[in-house]
Homo-oligomer: A and B are copies of this chain.
Amino acid sequence: MSDFERIQAARRRLAGRIHRTPVLHSRSLDEAAGAEVYCKAENLQRGGAFKIRGAMNRMLQLTPAERARGVVAFSSGNHAQAVALAARELGVSADLVMPADAPRLKLEAVRAFGGRVHLYDRAEQSREALAADLVEREGRVLVPPFDDAEIIAGQGTAALELLEEVPGLEALAVPVGGGGLIAGSALSAHAHNPQIAVYGIEPATAADAQLSLKLGRITAITENPTLADGLRTPQPGKLTFPIMQQHLRAIVTVTDEELLAAVRLLLLRMKTLVEPSGAAAAAAVIHGRITGHRRIGLILSGGNIDPTILTRALP
């Protein structure tokens, strides 16, 4: 099966289980960007982020025996919510390994979906080791956050919907964490039209994918302080990185101040709530990092913002 056939299969599998999110367009944003900008509103997706696409696509392919044993995932945020939500819907038990300092709202959301939360101390414990223990001891299936062909295929369905709905896109801009969304989006875009320029966006202080592409090999960064908690992954994945190498025009970066300005513009002008990670692509087009295209598509990847951060974004 080709990468694109896998994305098309994911789309059929997900139909009726997730929202077909709207594409938002506003002249305020066009004016700020100096181009026509079309925003795929995955902040309006179930669970408040695109993550349900990959998690649900992967979990719909569990065997009955695997379903009976349950799943495990490690994540500080939106992936944990997505796995818990998909698990509830499929009648599967879910263990989520989350840092003790994860945002209270995200912990509450995971528990509200019926997920069993295992807290760990970021400084003292390895979440991978904790998750591996649950996998080995209880036979649970790990649902990885990004480095999995079916996760990538699920995430690629968002760009597919955007490309079908808005004709003539010259460029596509997508936030980059571990690379699941950008990899799936790039595969969809170039299956649709090989000429589309695909851009990844990272925080300036967590630009591991940009560095890895420059050096030509997966490279971890150690310092990654940024408001964009969903984009703090220290390095790209083994599967996602070669896709980025093959498909991306460039990775561009944005500062935390630019992320907050984008959150504010999207909220007060476009009336939609986006978290800093989710606003990265919008920040890039607003602040002139992506130029030379008349019609740009981008993904608003999530809306699960902490109210204290939201208050900082207000005028």
Chain A residues engaging chain B, CB cutoff 8 angstroms = 19, 22, 24-25, 27, 41, 43-44, 46, 48, 267-268, 270-274, 303, 307, 310-311, 314-315
Question: Are B314 and A44 neighbours in the complex by a CB distance under 8 Å?
Answer: no
Picked from B48, B307, B315, the residue with its CB within 8 Å of the CB of A271 is: B48
Give Cα A48 to B24, complex, Å.
13
Contact A44–B307 (Cβ < 8 Å) = no
A314-B303 in contact given A44-B270, A44-B271 (Cβ < 8 Å): no
Complex CA–CA separation, A314 to B311 (angstroms): 8
User: Are B303 and A307 in contact (CB-based, < 8 A)?
Assistant: no
Q: Give the distance in Å from the alpha carbon of A267 to the alpha carbon of B267 in the complex.
A: 10
Least Cβ–Cβ distance between A27 and chain B, in angstroms? 7
Distance A307 CA – B303 CA, assembled complex (angstroms): 19
Contact partner of A268 among B46, B273, B314, CB < 8 A?
B273
Residues of chain B contacted by A310 (CB below 8 angstroms) = 314
- Judge whether A271 and B272 touch: CB under 8 Å: yes
Q: CB within 8 A of A46: which of B27, B267, B315?
A: B27
| Contacts A19-B25, A22-B22, A25-B19 given; does A43 touch B271 at CB 8 Å | yes
In the complex, A216→B18 CA distance in Å?
47
Chain B positions within 8 Å of A25 at CB level: 19
Contact of A44 among B268, B272, B315 (CB under 8 A): B272
27 A-B contact pairs sorted by A residue (CB < 8 Å):
A19-B25, A22-B22, A22-B24, A22-B41, A22-B44, A24-B44, A27-B46, A43-B271, A44-B270, A44-B271, A44-B272, A48-B271, A267-B273, A268-B273, A268-B307, A271-B272, A271-B273, A271-B274, A271-B303, A272-B272, A272-B273, A273-B273, A307-B314, A307-B315, A310-B314, A311-B311, A311-B314
Identify 6 new A-B residue pairs, CB closer than 8 A, beyond the known A22-B41, A271-B273: A27-B46, A44-B270, A44-B272, A268-B273, A271-B272, A271-B274
Q: Considering only CB atoms, which chain B residue lies closest to A48 in the complex? A: B271
Bound together, the chains give a CA A118 to CA B293 distance in angstroms of 40
List the 7 shortest-distance A-B pairs measured between CB atoms, nearest first: A22-B22, A271-B303, A271-B273, A43-B271, A307-B314, A307-B315, A267-B273
What residues of B have a CB within 8 angstroms of the CB of A273 in the complex?
Answer: 267-268, 271-273
| Residues on the B chain within 8 Å of A272, using CB | 44, 271-273
Per the bound structure, the CA–CA distance linking A43 and B269 in Å amounts to: 10
How far, in angstroms, from A274 to B274 measured CA to CA in the complex?
14
Residues on B with beta carbons closer than 8 Å to the beta carbon of A314: 307, 310-311
Q: How far is the CB of A50 from chain B (nearest CB, A)?
A: 13
Which B residues are CB-close (under 8 A) to A271?
43-44, 48, 272-274, 303
Query: How near does chain B come to A41, taking the closest CB pair, in angstroms?
Result: 8
A271 to B42, CA, bound (A): 10
A190 to B: closest C-beta gap in Å: 28
CA distance A19 to B27 in the complex (A): 11
Q: Looking across the interface, which residue of chain B has its beta carbon closest to that of A315?
A: B307
